[in-house]
Structure 1
Amino acid sequence: MPNLSTAVVPSPARPAAARPGLSFTIGQDVSGCWVALESHGIAGGLFRNRDDAIHYAGVEIRNGAGEIRFATGPVAFTAGR
């Protein structure tokens, strides 16, 4: 799993047309917190509930060139290096 330096890492500031397709995995960590992680480790966060995680991923994908997947098991989220 990617090692993210903060709890929520914004995507790079680029126009939507120049942004590559982002792919998010949404699931719960071992303690039950909801997690959304971009597959390349460029964005992610911890959320109060599933809907908030889905909303975050949807905003990050805002140009529609991406996907949201749901984990079938625990999702590991680490902050800091």
Structure 2
Amino acid sequence: METEECILTRRSIRKFKNVKIDMEKIGKILEAGRAAPSSGNIQNWMFVIVDDEEKRKAIAEACFQQYWMAVAPIHIVICSKPQEVKRH
């Protein structure tokens, strides 16, 4: 898929199947995120996989009550320490 086609045909998904996601697929997603460019190649991020239902509900609540996301089988939470990248 060409970049332009990918951008123009993107969509927001708000309905999810209740299907467990294979860890190999999750690993590929995380690897793609890890390979993303960062200022000064700092790579100041940490990925947290959340598959616990109650924790996913709490995350949805914390994200301005976006409850549709609580039914996703996993959440990938991306964390950073902004104080470590002030010079960039």
TM-score, scaled relative to structure 1:
0.29
**Which has the larger share of strand?**
1
The structure, 1 or 2, with the larger RCO (C-alpha pairs under 8 Å, 6+ apart) is: 1
Larger Rg: 2
